[in-house]
């Protein structure tokens, strides 16, 4: 079965390391805040000027003025700092973020990402994605493996306008965890119950499949 949004966030959270400064993009990445492993101290950054995001609030904790980049209400952990967006982007552009987690419409086998525009559809703008992919070396892209029509989003070459070129090296989809190296997707893990054959069928770009592809675990 395909991973739920929550399971995808749990899998990404396994990549967090103690002391990391981590930017979480809009959508599935924001859920990672709920799954930071015990014993790991990370500072979660939101591009609108909050460093030290905590988990999502309970109903009694909601503060309408405390929001993330997706305008969702959040909490702040001890030691959090609030500053303007110019300082936030200085942090991003200066390379001071250890890990960036963001969504995408398409990723291709050369590490190109398209995440900000679908021609003919109303959009809010590119947001901070272009700065994030240019300023970070360690990026995890979260996305569905295929569209609702079954069309692959892991491509030989992106069709949509690019957000960044040659910047993505890890992709987590609802079907698999893959790395990008040498002009190909390398299948590292598969979602529980998902066959290698299904992943191959739904990957349009060049895909390297090792002899053994383990199922993901969430312990």
Q: What is the DSSP string of 20-65?
A: -EEEE-SSGGGGGGGGPPTT---EEEETTTEEEE-SPPPGGG--TT
Q: Do 42 and 33 meet the contact criterion of CB atoms below 8 Å apart?
A: no
CA neighbours within 13 Å on the CB side: how many for 97? 31
Cα 35 vs. chain centroid, distance in angstroms? 14
> What are residue 130's phi and psi, to 5 degrees?
-65, -40
Out of 47, 87, 106, 137, the active site residue is 47
Q: Is 189 a catalytic residue?
A: no
- Looking from the CA of 10 toward its CB, the CA atoms found within 13 Å total 11
Token representation of residue 217: 């675990």
Catalytic positions are 47
């Amino acid at each position: 079965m395909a991973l739920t949004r929550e399971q995808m966030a749990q899998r990404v959270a396994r990549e967090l390391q103690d002391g990391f400064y981590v930017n979480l993009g809009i959508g599935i990445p924001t859920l990672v805040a709920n799954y930071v492993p015990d014993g790991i101290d990370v500072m979660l950054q939101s591009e609108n000027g909050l460093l030290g995001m905590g988990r999502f609030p309970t109903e009694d904790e909601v503060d309408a003025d405390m929001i993330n980049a997706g305008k969702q209400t959040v909490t702040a952990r001890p030691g959090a700092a609030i500053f303007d967006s110019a300082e936030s982007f200085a942090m991003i552009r200066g390379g001071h973020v250890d890990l960036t987690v963001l969504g995408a419409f398409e990723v291709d086998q050369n590490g190109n990402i398209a995440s900000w525009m679908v021609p003919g559809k109303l959009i809010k703008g590119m947001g901070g994605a272009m700065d994030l992919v240019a300023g970070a070396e360690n990026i995890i892209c979260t996305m569905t493996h295929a569209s609702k029509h079954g069309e692959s989003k892991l491509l030989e070459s992106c069709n949509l306008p690019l957000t960044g070129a040659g910047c993505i090296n890890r992709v987590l989809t609802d079907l698999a965890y893959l790395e990008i190296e040498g002009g190909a997707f390398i299948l590292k893990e598969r979602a529980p119950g998902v066959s290698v054959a299904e992943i191959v069928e739904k990957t349009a770009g060049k895909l390297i499949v090792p002899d053994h592809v383990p199922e993901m675990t969430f312990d």
